[in-house]
Structures are given as structure tokens and as C-alpha cells.
Structure 1
Amino acid sequence: MASLFQKKLTLKKTHDFCAVKQPKLTVVFIHGIASDSSTFNNAIKYLEGTTSLRDIRFVTFDLLGSGKSYASDELNYDYKDQLEALHNSIEKLKLTTPLVLVGHSMGTFIATRYADTYKKSVKHLILISPPIYTEKDLENPAFAAAIKVFRDAVSVKNRKILEEKAFNSSMEKIVLDKKNYKTLANLKTYATLICGDADQFIAAFNLPKVLAENPKYLTAIKTIGRHGVSRDKYSKMVNVLEKILNA
């Protein structure tokens, strides 16, 4: 069997559908930590049932260490691993359309870093519930308390996840990466941030700050929701996707 370092890292594709034979746009969804692509099931059902979006191809993947994708102690579960696997998986789609990435929570970091790494390959980003923390925030002792709240919430769903390398390494090397805010503030890909007023896991006070630092490329839509990919979030995506389709 080929070792991890002799084969290309790829992700498990869990959904790939378009209502027409020749789509005009491809949307790839990237889920967050302690989750999998099923995060977007309701959103995709809603979007695929929207007549104005029939020309869009919708694709989901499980990230490394999540769902049905590859998992191994050999992996670091850092940006390098996840971006390599995502890029290889997107290349396998053999796209003939522009690409939009939709990220949720940690998936917003991966989507943003992908666009920053591969530059012109992404037409637009839709970032749902992005945890916008500055380097100063990450060094604040109060932030540790916020992380504990999140870990406790994960534990309620599945305590075993907290013991997995995929979770702990992703938390350390992606979620807590000090460059996340700077990457977003300096982004040169158009991005729409969709944030809930009742979101318990994002630093809402940083939203106007990062928008002011990058007004050309970043815009935001606020909803009444919490952190999850609920209808208040994905219903807002319709207008964004319609504008991208018609651009």
C-alpha cells in the first residue's frame, strides 16, 4: 500500500448535483471543526430547490479527519494538509465554470486561505459565521474561556471527538492560527460574510473593524441567528449567488 507521502491527499465527495447539464457556476461547501458535510444538507436542499439557482452545480466534501474522508495519525490536520486535499479534490471536478467557496466556522478560514493561496482560482467566497479574532484577542486570557465554552458544546454532542487528533490539531493549527484575521483583512477575493446577531462563538465587535480594513473586497450580511447553518443564513445566500451568476 502506498504510504501517505506517496499519494495525493483528496477529500471524500459527498454531494455533487446540478439541475442542468451545463452549469454556469460551481459552489463548493467547506464545513467546520467537529463536523462534516452534512452541516449543509438543509442549505443545499433549499438552494437546489430555488429556480433561479438551477444553473449552479453544488458540491460538498468531508474535510480530512471528518466524515468519510481520510484520517491518519500521520496527518497534521493543518492548513497545508487541508488545502492540498481540497485543491486536489477541486481539480478532480474538472471545472469549466467559475468557482465559489462557501465556508462555515473553521471552514471560513480554510476557504479564505485557499483563495489567498490559489489567488485567481476563486470568484467569490461566502463565509458563514466566521470566528473573527485578532492576534491580540487570541492572547487574551478571556479567549481561553470562550474556547472552553466551545469544547463543552462539542462534548455534549460527542465527547470522543475531543480526544481525536483531527479535532485538537485543527483547533491548534487552523482555528487558533494568528494569521487568520490578517489573511481576511488583506484578502483580494470578493467575500460576503454572513453573521448571526446571536452567534455565541464569533467576536462580533471585530466585524465592523475588518470590513473597514478591507472595504473593497469584504461585505457583510447580518441575521438574527446563532452559529449554525440555519435558514436565516442560507436564505441570504440566494441573492448573493444570483448576483454572482448574473455578473
Structure 2
Amino acid sequence: MVRLGLLRRRPLLHVATDRGSGPVVVLLHGIASSWVTFENVIPLLDGRHRVLALDLLGFGGSPAPDDAAFTLDDHAAAVHRTLRRMRVGAPFVLVGHSMGALIAARYGAAFPRDLSRVVLVSPPIYLAPSAIGDPLDRAAMELYLRAYGFLRENKEFTIRAAGQLARLSPIKDLLDVSDDNWRAFVLSLQRSIESQTTVSDLAAIRVPIEIVYGTLDPFLAPAGIRIAERLRGVTSHRVVGGDHVIRRRMARVVATAVG
């Protein structure tokens, strides 16, 4: 469980979208992004759900406290405090994309009574390379971790590369790495993605878990996905030709997974 002291210290997050009526669906974006991640999903849900899209701690319009460690517990506690302050009633559906999927899994393990369903979209489920038997999978995991270390240690390169990718993105303002959010980016990458608890968190969740991912997602670790798919209560939805971004075709699959 998330420590109560940590929960009390976490600030309120920016609620970027609160629209529609009906059962509540909460949307959590990924690292270096914002609520716009779900611009293709929200119109498919708000006719039958109350849809809340939050900006995560340190990103979008949300604060980045000096004492935040940007661990999964930090992120989950900030989400929980925000929803509690809004008096969002349980149970609700929690949807996370990329790092937001890892936060959703942590939230589900920490606050099990809050949720009716968890939907993980494009989840980067990583394991320690030493825990992977297959040599190819182990090498792929090592490559991911080395790449992330390079991004953290080369600020100017990372900001420039993120800017170039943002200009190519099909969703405006989807990616933002800058001086303003650099600390949140680096620590979230290191402490929420590279050092994660996702497999054990998923094993602890007692509500249905839906995993949606594209077959061409460059951030997907096959070893992690295979383990997650074998866990109790997990249903997978493969989007053939889909990548890491929630384009319209993937958005329809996400909306179906929400129910």
C-alpha cells in the first residue's frame, strides 16, 4: 500500500478533462506527455461515461514539487489524492498509457477497492535482464535500459530529439521534454519505468485487466508482455500494425476494453 504520509504530501493534479456522465473512467498519460494522449479516445467514451483526464505529476499543467521522487508510489498517491478531493466514487475504470499504464497497475495494487477494471495501453513492462532466460529477450531488455540511461545523461540531445519527434506526431503537443519538466522526466524514467513493480502489481490486482498494444510498438518488451498475459484476469488486445501512439484504430480498441 502507498504510505499515508506520502499520500498527504502529494499535491493535487491538473484535471484537464472532466466531461460526460455515467460510470467514471480516469485516464493517465505517459512520460513527457499530457492528457492529449487520449484525444482520440475521449470522444468514444464521453457519451456513456464521465471521463476524467489528468496530467501526471510534473507534466502538462500539474505541479512538480521539489521533494517529489517521481516513483510509481509518488505518481499513484498524487492520482489518488486528486480523485479523493474531487469525491470520485468507487469503483471506476482506470486507463493508463505507457508510463501511465505502470502507474495504473501500481494504483490498482495500492488501492484495490477503488477500481472496477484496469486498462493498460502500450505498457512498457520491463524486467531485470538477469531475470530473463531467453538470450534474445535478455539482450533486448539490456538495450532498452542502456538507451534510457543515454537519454537521462544527455539532456541537450534528448530535448532536441523529443522536439523532432513531436513535430512528426499525429497528435499535436503529444511529446514535451524541456528544461521545465526535465527533472520530472529523468526521475520518472529512472524510478517509474526503469525501476518498476508492474508484474507484481498486476499479480495483486483482483479486477479484470485489459492490455492493449500495437504489434509495431518500439517500446514493447515481448518478455514482459508474455508474463503479463499469463496472469490471472488478464485479457490482451493486439492491434495489428499499431505503434506506441493511440491513433484512431487503437482508440476504438481501448474504448471497447473500457466497456
Pairwise TM-score range, normalised by the shorter structure: 0.7 to 0.9
1:102-117 matched pairs, under 5 angstroms: 102-117=95-110
In the alignment, structure 1 residue 217 sits paired with structure 2 residue 233: yes
In the alignment, structure 1 residue 241 sits paired with structure 2 residue 258: yes
Query: In the TM superposition, what is the alpha-carbon distance from 1:85 to its structure 2 partner?
Result: 1.2
Count, aligned residues: 228
Over 3 Å counting, the alpha-carbon distance change for 1:117 and 1:96 in structure 2 is closer
Q: Which amino acid in 2 is paired with 1:234?
A: A
CA distance in 1, matches of 2:204, 2:73: 20
CA distance in 1, matches of 2:106, 2:84: 17
Contact 1:155–1:162 (8 Å) recurs in 2: no
Query: In the TM superposition, what is the alpha-carbon distance from 1:168 to its structure 2 partner?
Result: 0.3
In the alignment, structure 1 residue 33 sits paired with structure 2 residue 46: no
Contact 1:193–1:219 (8 Å) recurs in 2: yes
What corresponds to 1:17 in structure 2? 19
Q: Which amino acid in 2 is paired with 1:100?
A: V
CA distance in 2, matches of 1:8, 1:204: 34
Query: In the TM superposition, what is the alpha-carbon distance from 1:190 to its structure 2 partner?
Result: 1.5
Over 3 Å counting, the alpha-carbon distance change for 1:87 and 1:178 in structure 2 is closer
More off after superposition, 154-163 vs 115-124 = 154-163
* 1:232 aligned residue (236, 242, 249): 249
CA distance in 1, matches of 2:68, 2:204: 29
* 2:113 aligned residue (120, 125, 129): 120
What corresponds to 1:183 in structure 2? 201
What corresponds to 2:142 in structure 1? 141
More off after superposition, 182-191 vs 154-163 = 154-163
Over 3 Å counting, the alpha-carbon distance change for 1:146 and 1:185 in structure 2 is farther
Q: Secondary structure at the match of 2:178?
A: helix
What corresponds to 1:68 in structure 2? 61
Contact 2:108–2:201 (8 Å) recurs in 1: no
Q: Secondary structure at the match of 1:27?
A: strand
CA distance in 2, matches of 1:162, 1:202: 28
CA RMSD after TM alignment:
2.8
CA distance in 1, matches of 2:117, 2:64: 29
In the alignment, structure 1 residue 198 sits paired with structure 2 residue 216: yes
CA distance in 1, matches of 2:90, 2:224: 34
Contact 1:73–1:165 (8 Å) recurs in 2: no
Identity of aligned residues (%): 27
5+ long unaligned stretches in structure 1 = 49-53, 243-247
CA distance in 2, matches of 1:79, 1:6: 16
CA distance in 2, matches of 1:233, 1:5: 33
Over 3 Å counting, the alpha-carbon distance change for 1:180 and 1:74 in structure 2 is same
Q: Secondary structure at the match of 1:42?
A: coil
Contact 1:161–1:167 (8 Å) recurs in 2: no
Q: Secondary structure at the match of 2:40?
A: helix
* 2:186 aligned residue (149, 152, 168): 168
TM-score, normalisation: structure 1: 0.81
